[in-house]
Amino acid sequence: MLILLLAATARDAAAQSGIRDYQNHCAECHGLGGRGDGPTCLTIPMNPPPNDLTQMAKNNGGKFPFDEVVESVDGRKNIPSHARLQMPFWGTTLQKPGKEFTPESDAEVKKRIESMARYVESIQQK
């Protein structure tokens, strides 16, 4: 029982961190509801524009592409090709100051990105 409770608390904490991180780091471009209408992209038009994050499951045959979202938010795989020019590479941006790229910091970044991806998953439109 206690274990279940602790697990639920950990899950809630992760969900909270996903929402908070999304609001702090993503909403300016993608919009709070994920529709790609954040204030930054309305003042400075981006080409391509930020994705409508609520359509990712729909555009993937109804299945939310969790791993791809985590990878593309992290962004480090794209660095060599510079395939992505406008969205920050969150895998580097969110590193712990002073402890960048240590296993500890990397694990923390991974957790935060996964929590944000869960949040994005929660706002999918059918």
The binder of ligand HEC chosen from 18, 26, 109, 115 (CB under 6 A): 26
The binder of ligand HEC chosen from 28, 52, 108, 121 (CB under 6 A): 28
Verify binding: residue 70, ligand HEC, rule CB under 6 A.
no
Instruction: Kindly tell me the burial class for residue 10, based on how many C-beta atoms sit within 10 Å of its own C-beta (0-12, 13-18, 19 or more).
Output: exposed
If the CB atoms of residues 25 and 35 are measured against ligand HEC, the closer one turns out to be 25
Report CA 11 to chain centroid distance, whole Å.
17
Contact criterion met (CB below 8 Å) for 20 and 94: no
Among residues 114, 124, 112, the alpha carbon closest in space to that of 34 is found at: 124
The stretch near ligand HEC (CB under 6 A) out of 1-9, 11-19, 48-56, 98-106 is 48-56
Measured from the Cβ of residue 73, the count of other Cβ atoms closer than 10 Å reads 21
Contact residues toward ligand HEC (CB under 6 A) are: 25-26, 28-30, 40, 46, 48, 50-51, 53, 69, 72-73, 84-88, 90, 116, 120
